[in-house]
Structures are given as C-alpha cells and as structure tokens.
Amino acid sequence: MHFFEFTEEQKMLRKAIREFVEAEIAPKAAEWDEQDACPVDLMKKMGELGVNGIFVPEQYGGAGQGFVARAICLEEISRYSAGLGIAMMTHHMGPYPILLFGTEEQKKKYLPDLCSGKKIGGLAVTEPGGGSDFSGQKATGEKKDGGWVLNGRKCFITNSHIADVTVLTAKTGVDDKGRNKLSAFIVEKGTKGFEPGRKEHKLGLRGSVTGDVVLTDVTVPEDALLGKEGGGAKIGMEAIGEVGRAGMSAICVGILRGCVEEAVKFANERVVYGKPIAKLQAVQFEVAKIRADYEAARLLTYYAAGLKDAGIPCANEVATAKYVSTETAVASSKRLMDLMGGYGVINEYPVGRFLRDALASIPSGGTSHIMQIIMAANTLSGFQP
Ligand SMILES: Cc1cc2nc3c(=O)[nH]c(=O)nc-3n(C[C@H](O)[C@H](O)[C@H](O)COP(=O)(O)OP(=O)(O)OC[C@H]3O[C@@H](n4cnc5c(N)ncnc54)[C@H](O)[C@@H]3O)c2cc1C
C-alpha cells in the first residue's frame, strides 16, 4: 500500500470480504447483539476466505497477506458486527505469537488449523488484579516432572469459552530486582484443569464471548512453553501492542464507516419542514464531522498497519490509531444519535449498538489512558516529525 491507496490485491480482498459480510453478517448482526450469541460456525467458515490466517505465511496455511489486509478484514466485518470483529481479531492473537516466537514444531502443529478455521485462538493475559498492571500478574507456572503446572485466573478474555488454542502468560519466577518474570504457554482446550469460568454480560461488543479462564493444576508438557522461559512479558506486549490494539483500531474504523453510511441514509430520508434534513446546514456540519472522524481513524489505522507490514516498529503509531479510532467512534456514534432525534434511541436502528460497541472498545487492548502514556513517552523522548 502507498499511504493512501490499497494495492490491487488488497482491493480484491476488500471486495470479496465485503460481499461475504453483506450476505452473511449484515442480516444477522442485530440478532447476535440482542441475544449476545457468538456465531462460531460462521467464524470458522471465514477460514475459507483466508481471514483467520490472513497475515500468516502460506507455508503454515495462512493467506500471507499481512496487516493492512487484516485491517481491511476487520473494518469490513465490524462495519456490521464489531462483536464478531473482536472475536476474529482476538482469534488472531493466538497464531500471531506462535508465528513470531514458536518453534518450527509448534508452528506446524498449531498454525494450519488456526488458519483454516478448524480451530479458534485466543490470548489470555488480563487478571482480576488489573490489566494495565501487566507485570503484576499472579497466575503461576511451576516446573514439575519435565513439564509445567499452571494455576491462576484470567479475566475479560475474549473467546474464553470457544477457543481451542489459548496463548497465556504466567509468573515463572522473579528477577534480581524482585520483578515478576513471566513466561508464555500454549494451552489446548480439554487440558485437565483448564476451564472457562464466569461469562460476562457486556454493554457492547456483544456477539463475542468474554469471560474468565481458570487454571487449576493444569499440567502441560515442556514444549507448551512459547519462546524462552521468562520471555512472556515481551510476547504478551508484542501481541497486544502491535496486533491487539491495531485490531481494535480497525474495528472502530468499521464502526465509524457505519456511522457515515447511516448518517447519509437517515439525513436523506428524514423529512422535516417539507424537506430532507440533509438540506439543513447544521445537519451537514454534523455529517462532515462524522466523515472527518472516519477519515482520520482510517488513515492512522492503515498507516500503522503499513508500518507493521514494512517491519518498522509501530507501537506508538498503533497506540495513536487505537486512541483516535476508539474515542472518535464514541464521539461520532453519539453525534449520529443526536442527529437522528428520537429515532437515535430506537433499537431498530444500529446507532445505539455502534455507541455501545465503541464504548466497549476503549478498555479492550488497553485503555485510552494507557495509549496516552505510550504516546506521551514517545513524544517527550524526542519527537521527530
Ligand atoms: C470487551 C473486552 C475484551 C477483552 N479481551 C481480552 C482478551 O482477549 N485478553 C486479555 O488478556 N484481556 C482482554 N481484555 C482486558 C483488557 O485488556 C483490560 O480490560 C484492559 O487492559 C484494562 O485493564 P483493567 O480492566 O484491569 O483496568 P485497570 O488496569 O484496573 O484500569 C482501571 C483504570 O485505571 C487507569 N489506569 C491504569 N493504569 C494507569 C496508569 N499507569 N496511568 C493512568 N491511568 C491508569 C485505566 O486507564 C482505567 O481507567 C478485554 C477487555 C474487554 C473490555
């Protein structure tokens, strides 16, 4: 991609995904939201389109198309269902660390099924003690009889009840400064003592499953360790920092596009004083502001994804994109709601869902405060335009 233009391959991908989304997702999105039901079979079916392993190289069963392509998929899905968007985006957090840090055996064992849609992935890092306090995790991993025994509880985990392969972090020691040393593990569904726990009832991003993952004397073999012992913080932060947040950003670009499209539709259809409200200049200003939010979020999101594809460190750009996309998705969906008058609060229209989904996107993958801390640190340590 240039900064402002998709490649022909990316345009073809967008067309194919859009057709699929309009046929399979758009008609059902409101129902999934209302019933808080995750369409797992449909999610698996998207493996056939290449979505589930979009950035994974073809040699491991993926589509080999990178992170701009991934953002295209997530924007298109989330235009209609941000709930399914976060389920898919978190699925990607399973294969990503395996691809980056796994042994050849681990890649061959897990990636093809995660890409084809046969298996669903997940990443479990957050604990009841706090998600922002990443290093304060209490789940433990102890070496025993040539393997590991894992104990603890993770919370707010997307795909908690549907993931077949979960990458999780646990404390496996303390360094000489007394700080926790975390390690990452790959745990398969059905492993004794590894159970989904409480399921959350969420305000937004419904249609994705969010809940606890409970570890009670879970015994895994030595080769369940992902990367180096003590390397879990790096693995977790890289997965969340450059893939989780980038995913949330693309999801909110989808919500913002929904706001633009619904604003145009409503403003042209709603007639007051004998003419469509699109003729009122105050309404035009609101439409323009929603469009500006969409364009800003879109450019930041695809720019950060382009850097990732080019192998350029992009944690700051991803944090900026996540911050702007999530916050403007909240602002624009509220703006659209106001523009629609009484209709804005009627559930027949998707705008209420847009607002709830945007609000729920703010903590997911790290709060706006944490994004600002990253952006401020980057800026104050030597801003170079
Ligand atoms: C829908 C959803 C899906 C999620 N999916 C996953 C998942 O799949 N896997 C996973 O591991 N986690 C997941 N999470 C958890 C998410 O990453 C955490 O909610 C997030 O990191 C915030 O952690 P917390 O909720 O514990 O808030 P806390 O860390 O307790 O934060 C509370 C408040 O304190 C503020 N705060 C914290 N630290 C600072 C600081 N240093 N400076 C200033 N302010 C600060 C925060 O911004 C916030 O306002 C999900 C969350 C949601 C809502």
pLDDT at 318 over 60: yes
pLDDT at 41 over 80: yes
Quick one: pLDDT at residue 3? 58
Q: What is the model's pTM?
A: 0.97
Dump pLDDT digits (tens) for 101-111.
999 999 999 99
Mean pLDDT of 261-286: 98
How far is residue 349's CA from residue 91's CA, in Å, rounded to a whole number?
29
User: DSSP state, 21?
Assistant: I
Q: At a CB cut-off of 8 Å and minimum separation 6, what does 125 contact?
A: 131, 134, 137, 154, 168, 169, 236, 240
Token pair belonging to 242: 């450059």
Protein residue closest via CA to atom 17 of ligand 1: 365
Please name every residue paired with 220 in a beta bridge, in sequence order, or none if there are none: 148
SS (H, E, C) 228-274: CCCCHHHHHHHHHHHHHHHHHHHHHHHHHHHHHHHHHHHHHHCEECC
Give the confidence band of 1 by pLDDT, cuts at 50, 70, 90. Answer: very low
Lowest mean pLDDT among 136-140, 190-194, 283-287, 356-360: 136-140
How far is residue 368's CA from residue 201's CA, in Å, rounded to a whole number?
22
Residues flanking ligand 1, CB < 6 Å: 90, 123-126, 130-133, 156-158, 205, 210, 360, 363-367, 369-370, 373
How far is residue 101's CA from residue 94's CA, in Å, rounded to a whole number?
12
Quick one: pLDDT at residue 385? 78
Mean pLDDT of 283-290: 98
Q: Which atom of ligand 1 is nearest to the CA of 126?
A: 11
Domains of the chain (ranges, CATH numbers) = 8-116 (1.10.540.10), 121-229 (2.40.110.10), 234-380 (1.20.140.10)
Protein residue closest via CA to atom 44 of ligand 1: 369
Mean pLDDT of 365-383: 95
Dump pLDDT digits (tens) for 131-188.
788 888 999 999 999 999 999 999 999 999 999 999 999 999 998 888 899 999 999 9
Q: Which atom of ligand 1 is nearest to the CA of 93?
A: 8
The mean of the pLDDT values for the chain is: 96
